[in-house]
A and B are shown apart, each in its own frame.
Chain A
Amino acid sequence: MEDEKSYSDICGGRLALRRRYYSPYCREFGLSSARLSLRSLTAVTCAVWLAAYGLFTLCENSMILSAAIFITIIGLLGYLHFVKIDQETLLIIDSLGIQMTSSYASGKESTTFIEMDKVKDIIINEAIYMQKVIYYLCILLKDPAKPQEISQVVPVFQSAKPRLDCLIEVYRSCQEILAHQKATSTSP
């Protein structure tokens, strides 16, 4: 079953959460943020070119204009390939593990997989971020040798940064799967 709902992120931008239930205990959550808007692209390009033109009128060196064009193109490509994340997905497979994928605007995808043995819990944590206190979903990892201690904290949806209502939805779904996984793992 698949459904899609609209939420907002901590800055007020629009996000779309797409939930797919492949089987009772295998679920995927995809958060898509807004694509790069033409308005912001033209604003940045105009600002950079106006600054370059201002420098050119001061220095009378035409290399500045070519350099500004070059910087704009390279900067845009670098931003799309390394910075702008369009969609983040969280795939939970009971008894196997958790997989997080980030797909960039240029088409690059980066994936991280965590085995279910290492996962202690999925929680919503609050922390100070810049000048705000935000809620964010994170996976607590444990060392299989010391199951009572938290060894690492892995935040998810780091670039989309949804608000609490979206996080509660994802949290409840994940807790159902984790509860089922604990119940089936303790019984041999």
Chain B
Amino acid sequence: MVENSPSPLPERAIYGFVLFLSSQFGFILYIVWAFIPESWLNSLGLTYWPQKYWAVALPVYLLIAIVIGYVLLFGINMMSTSPLDSIHTITDNYAKNQQWKNYQEDAIPALRDVPISEVNKMFFLGAQDLNTQ
């Protein structure tokens, strides 16, 4: 079984070159369509092209879509943030269903999600003793 690796291979070189040629060809075609007048293209026999309006409209559409994408992403982020009264700020299904391993002496305790009440006691009630020492 061939491993997946990012090293250069002959097949990848061929794909890259085909992509390069086709993108150059697409760009030249776009420039030809946008700049050469209708009448010259018609005299060559090429009559069935989209309207030249689209040669300017499509790049503008693309740029505006990118700008709106920034605003939209920001908005989607804010909408999917849990509100302050949501249970998702405290726990979730993985924490509720986690297995409890028995405590073994002198061993590193197993990784688990500590309940928020214990975390609070350690942070805010324990410090009282540290400060008074």
Give the nearest-CB partner of A171 in chain B: B124
Give, as a whole number of angstroms, the nearest-CB distance from B122 to chain A: 12
Contact string against B for A residues 102-133, beta-carbon threshold 8 Å, 1 for contact and 0 otherwise: 00000000000000000011011101111000
Answer yes or no: A69 CB below 8 A from chain B CBs: no
Give the nearest-CB partner of A128 in chain B: B81
B124 and A168 form a contact (CB under 8 A): yes
Distance A140 CA – B90 CA, assembled complex (angstroms): 10
A153 and B125 form a contact (CB under 8 A): no
B85 and A155 form a contact (CB under 8 A): yes
The main secondary structure of chain B at its interface with chain A is helix
Interface residues of A in 129-169 (CB under 8 A from B): 129-130, 136, 138, 140, 149-150, 152-155, 158, 168
Answer yes or no: A175 CB below 8 A from chain B CBs: yes
Answer yes or no: B57 CB below 8 A from chain A CBs: no
Give, as a whole number of angstroms, the nearest-CB distance from B55 to chain A: 39
A125 and B90 form a contact (CB under 8 A): yes
A153 and B86 form a contact (CB under 8 A): yes
Answer yes or no: A14 CB below 8 A from chain B CBs: no
Give the nearest-CB partner of A178 in chain B: B117
Size of interface on B: residues with Cβ below 8 Å to A: 19
Which A residues touch B116, using CB under 8 A?
A: 123, 125, 140
Which A residues touch B85, using CB under 8 A?
A: 138, 152-155
Answer yes or no: B84 CB below 8 A from chain A CBs: yes
> Taking A158-B84, A168-B124, A172-B124 as contacts, is the C-beta distance between A121 and B89 under 8 angstroms?
no
Which B residues touch A140, using CB under 8 A?
A: 90, 116-117
Pick from B81, B89, B128: contact of A172, CB below 8 A. B128
Contact string against A for B residues 99-130, beta-carbon threshold 8 Å, 1 for contact and 0 otherwise: 00000000000000000110011011100100
Give, as a whole number of angstroms, the nearest-CB distance from A175 to chain B: 6
20 A-B pairs (CB sep. < 8 Å): A123-B120, A124-B120, A124-B123, A125-B116, A127-B82, A127-B84, A127-B89, A136-B84, A140-B116, A140-B117, A149-B96, A152-B87, A153-B85, A153-B87, A153-B89, A158-B84, A168-B124, A171-B124, A172-B125, A172-B128
> Which B residues are closer than 8 A to A by beta carbons?
78, 81-82, 84-87, 89-91, 96, 116-117, 120-121, 123-125, 128
> Which A residues are closer than 8 A to B by beta carbons?
120-121, 123-125, 127-130, 136, 138, 140, 149-150, 152-155, 158, 168, 171-172, 175
